[in-house]
């Protein structure tokens, strides 16, 4: 069992670097290409949400946790920008185009568990935590 | 190497958009420019995804948009060669029910020939 915590900003090169790090960690722990790719995509959507909505006025600070407890890979994105969501529901159906629910819809379908709550690190931020269990056959 | 490279190949049956690398928030505008140049020009469009490593929600929206615009012009968009994970992503968002997804550009062209060629 291990956990990495990374502080970064929502600048695109930093988001790409940490997304690639997650993809690498997934494969390193035996995740299949599909499992690892779906985690990378879901994590990328959470990062994109943080950049687009929580820090819409510019680049902001975020923190991510990447944790592995065999067979569960859990990634968390904390932002201290304005709240990501007024509600914590994951859409059940694909939202209309241009909706900001798109990323969350993909996350909800691609990951095994998803949790959205107020960030424990900030009065006004948001935490998205999501887990996928590797089949490890 | 650029994060995303797009280049267009004009074949008799279709315009092929080869995309290589990653479509994310930063590179989606480049992907959008490339698609906008193709859809609505009266030709069929094949998006060659065989060297596309990553596609996020901003890229998926553009594929939906390109499909709608092509259909409005009586044409279609075909997706060729997505990786297993991108194919799964296309299924998750339901794009696989709206656009043909095939293994290779050659297969996409066969489909177009079958549909539009002489009987």
Percentage of chain A beyond pLDDT 70 is: 86
Please report the pLDDT score of residue B22 as a whole number.
Answer: 98
> pLDDT tens across B10-19, in order?
999 999 999 9
Q: Please answer yes or no on whether B22 and A16 come within 8 Å at the CB atom.
A: yes
Q: Identify the closest residue of chain A to B95 by CA–CA distance.
A: A94
Task: Give the Cα separation of B71 and A122 in Å (integer).
Answer: 47
Tokens of B49: 């995804």
Q: Please answer yes or no on whether A110 and B84 come within 8 Å at the CB atom.
A: no
Nearest to B94 among A37, A94, A98 (CB): A94
- Whether the ipTM is more than 0.90: the answer is yes
Is A99 buried (19+), middle (13-18) or exposed (0-12) by CB count in 10 A?
middle
Smallest Cα distance from B30 to chain A, Å: 15
CA distance readout (Å), A40 to A48, A90, B6, B54, B100: 12, 18, 22, 9, 25
> pLDDT tens across B70-116, in order?
999 999 999 999 999 999 999 999 999 999 999 999 999 999 998 65
- What is the number of residues in chain B? 119
Assess whether pLDDT exceeds 50 at residue B6. Answer: yes
User: Phi/psi class of residue B40: alpha, beta or left (left: φ > 0; alpha: ψ in -120 to 50)?
Assistant: left
Task: Give the Cα separation of A96 and A68 in Å (integer).
Answer: 34
Q: Identify the closest residue of chain A to B94 by CA–CA distance.
A: A94
pTM: 0.91
Assess whether pLDDT exceeds 70 at residue A57. Answer: no
Q: Taking a C-beta distance cutoff of 8 angstroms, is the pair A118, A125 a contact?
A: yes
**Paired sense of beta strands A126-133 and A72-79, if any:** antiparallel
> pLDDT tens across A69-118, in order?
999 999 999 987 765 554 455 677 766 655 557 788 899 999 999 999 88
Mean pLDDT computed over A10-20: 96
């Amino acid at each position: 069992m291990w956990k990495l915590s990374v502080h970064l900003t929502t600048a695109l090169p930093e988001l790409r670097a940490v997304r690639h790090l997650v993809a690498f960690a997934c494969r390193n722990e035996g995740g299949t290409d599909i499992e690892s790719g779906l985690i990378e995509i879901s994590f990328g959507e959470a990062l994109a949400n943080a950049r687009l909505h929580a820090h819409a006025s510019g680049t902001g600070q975020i923190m991510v946790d990447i944790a592995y407890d065999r067979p569960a890979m859990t990634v968390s994105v904390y932002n201290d920008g304005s709240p990501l969501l007024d509600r914590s529901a994951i859409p059940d159906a694909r939202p209309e185009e241009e909706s900001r629910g798109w990323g969350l819809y993909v996350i909800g379908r691609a990951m095994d568990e998803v949790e959205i709550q107020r960030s424990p690190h900030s009065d006004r931020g948001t935490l998205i935590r999501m887990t996928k269990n590797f089949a490890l056959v | 190497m650029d994060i995303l490279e797009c280049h267009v190949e004009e074949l008799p049956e279709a315009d092929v958009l080869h995309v290589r690398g990653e479509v994310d928030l930063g590179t989606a505008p480049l992907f959008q420019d490339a698609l906008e140049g193709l859809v609505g020009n009266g030709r069929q469009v094949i998006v060659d995804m065989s060297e596309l490593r990553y596609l996020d929600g901003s890229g998926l929206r553009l594929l939906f948009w390109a499909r709608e615009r092509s259909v409005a012009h009586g044409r279609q968009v075909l997706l060729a060669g997505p990786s297993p994970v991108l194919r799964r992503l296309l299924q998750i968002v339901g794009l696989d029910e709206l656009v043909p997804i095939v293994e290779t550009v050659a297969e996409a062209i066969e489909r177009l020939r079958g549909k539009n060629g002489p009987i």
